[in-house]
Amino acid sequence: MAFLKEEILKIRKQVMEKDFSRMNDRQRQAVFTTEGPLLVLAGAGSGKTTVLVNRIANLVRYGKAYESSFVQDTLTDEDVECCKAFLLGGELPDLVRARLSVSACPPWKVMAITFTNKAAGELKERLCSMLGEDGNDIWASTFHSSCARILRRDGDRLGYTSHFTIYDSDDSKRLMKEVMRELDISEKSLSPKAVLGEISRAKDELTSPEEFESGAGDDFRLKLVARAYRLYQRRLEDSDAMDFDDLIVNTVRLFQKCPEVLEYYQDRFRYIMVDEYQDTNHAQYEFVNLLARKSNNLCVVGDDDQSIYKFRGATIENIMNFEQDFRGAAVIRLEQNYRSTQNILDAANAVISNNTERKGKNLWTAAGAGEQVKLHTAENEQDEADRIARMILEGVSAGRKFSDYAILYRMNSQSVMFERMFAKQGIPHRIIGGTRFFDRKEVRDMISYLSVVNNPGDEIRLRRVINTPKRGIGDRTVDTAAQIGQQVGESLFEVISHASEYPPISRAAGKLAQFSGMMQEFIDKNEAGGLLPSELYGELLERIGYVEFLREDEPEKAEDRIENVQELSSMLQRYEQEAGEEASLSGFLEEVALFTDIDNYDHDADSVVLMTIHSAKGLEFPVVFLPGWEEGIFPGMSVLYNPAEVEEERRLAYVAITRAREELLIYNAESRMIFGTTSRNKLSRFAEEIPEELVERSRSREYAYRTGVTMPTFTGGGVAQAGGQGQDARTKQGGFSSQIYKPNPVKPAPAGTFRAGDSVEHKTFGTGLVLTATPMANDTLLEIAFEKVGTKKLFANFARLNKL
Ligand code: ATP
Ligand code: MG
pLDDT for 786: 82
Among 21, 122, 338, 613, name the best residue to mutate to test ligand 1's pocket (greatest count of ligand atoms within 8 A of Cβ): 338
Say if ligand 1 is within 6 A of residue 706 CB: no
Ligand 1 atom closest to Cα of 334? 6
- State whether the beta carbon of 338 lies less than 6 angstroms from ligand 1: yes
306, 372, 425, 780: the active-site residue = 306
pLDDT tens track for 143-157: 999 999 999 999 999
Q: Of 122, 154, 171, 276, which one is the catalytic site residue?
A: 276
- Is 276 catalytic? The answer is yes
Asked whether residue 720 carries a pLDDT value surpassing 50, the answer given is: no
Specify whether the CB–CB gap between 405 and 625 falls below 8 A. yes
Interacting residues of 329 by C-beta distance below 8 A, sequence separation 6+ = 36, 37, 38, 39, 322, 323
- Ligand 1 atom closest to the CA of 658, numbered from 1: 3
Of 424, 779, 791, 765, nearest to 606 (Cα)?
Answer: 791
Give distance in angstroms: CA of 276 to centre of ligand 2: 7
Q: What is the ipTM of this complex?
A: 0.99
Q: Please, which pLDDT band fits residue 440 given cuts at 50, 70 and 90?
A: confident
Kind of pairing, strands 766-776 and 165-167?
unpaired
DSSP secondary structure letters along 128-151: HHHHGGGGGGSEEEEHHHHHHHHH
Q: Is the CB of 27 under 6 A from ligand 1?
A: yes
Residue 337 beta carbon below 6 angstroms from any ligand 1 atom: no
0.80 exceeded by the pTM? no
CA–centroid distance, residue 722 to ligand 1 (Å): 35
| pLDDT computed for residue 3 by the predictor | 82
Q: What are the tens digits of pLDDT across the range 307-360? A: 888 777 777 788 888 988 898 899 999 999 999 999 999 999 999 999 987 877
Peptide bond into 635 cis (omega under 30): yes
Q: Tell me, yes or no, if 49 is annotated catalytic.
A: yes
Decide if pLDDT at 61 tops 80: yes
Q: What's the pLDDT at 436?
A: 59
Which residue, among 560, 536, 539, has the nearest Cα to 550 in the 3D structure? 560
Instruction: For residues 196-216, give the mean pLDDT.
Output: 95
Cβ atoms of residues 766 and 426 within 8 Å = no
pLDDT at 510: 94
796/779 Cα distance (integer angstroms): 6
pLDDT digits (tens, 9 = 90+) for 226-252: 999 999 999 999 999 999 999 999 999
Note if 647 is an active site residue. no
Given the residues 275, 303, 630, 758, the one annotated as active site: 275
Annotated binding site: which residue ranges?
42-49
The verdict on the CB of residue 339 being under 6 Å from ligand 1 is yes
pLDDT digits (tens, 9 = 90+) for 87-123: 999 999 989 998 999 889 999 999 999 988 878 888 9
Burial 329-344, CB ≥16 within 10 A → b, else e: bbebebebbbbbbbbb
The size of the chain, in residues, is 804
pLDDT band at 514 (very low <50, low <70, confident <90, very high): very high
Is 306 noted as a catalytic residue in this protein? yes
Bridge-partner residues for 609, per DSSP? 406, 430
What is the biggest distance separating any 2 CA atoms in the chain, rounded to whole angstroms?
94
> What is the percentage of the chain residues whose pLDDT exceeds 90?
62
CA–CA dist 367, 339 (Å, integer): 8
Check pLDDT > 80 for residue 471.
yes
Lowest model confidence (mean pLDDT) among 568-582, 638-652, 699-713: 699-713
3-state secondary structure of 449: helix
Which residues face 766 on adjacent strands? 762
CA dist 361 to 23, 128, 354, 694, 731, Å? 20, 33, 13, 20, 42
| pLDDT tens sequence across 599-622 | 444 545 789 999 999 989 999 999
Nearest ligand atom owner, CA of 50: 1
Express each pLDDT in 121-144 by its tens digit.
Answer: 889 999 999 999 889 999 999 999
How much is the average pLDDT of 376-391? Answer: 94
| Continuous segment of H or E residues that includes residue 245 | helix 244-257
In this structure, the strands spanning 672-674 and 677-679 are antiparallel
Q: How far apart are CA 698 and CA 755, in angstroms?
A: 43
The predicted pLDDT at position 676 comes to 62
**How high does pLDDT run on average in the chain?**
87
Residue type, 28: R
The dihedral through the CA atoms of 436, 441, 443, 446 has a sign that is positive
Distance CA 564, CA 442 (A): 7
Q: Give the DSSP H or E segment for 769.
A: strand 766-776
Q: For 210-219, how does the pLDDT look when each residue is reduced to its tens digit (9 = 90+)?
A: 999 999 989 9
- Locate the DSSP E strands across 573-694: 608-612, 621-626, 660-669, 672-674, 677-679
39 phi and psi, to 5 degrees? -115, 125
| Residue with CA closest to ligand 1 atom 4 | 618
- Asked if residue 47 has its Cβ within 6 Å of ligand 1, the reply is yes
Per-residue confidence band for 716, with pLDDT thresholds at 50, 70 and 90: very low
Rounded to whole angstroms, how far apart are CA atoms 644 and 229?
29
**Spatial contact of 124 and 111, defined as CB atoms under 8 Å apart:** no
Catalytic-residue membership of 563: no
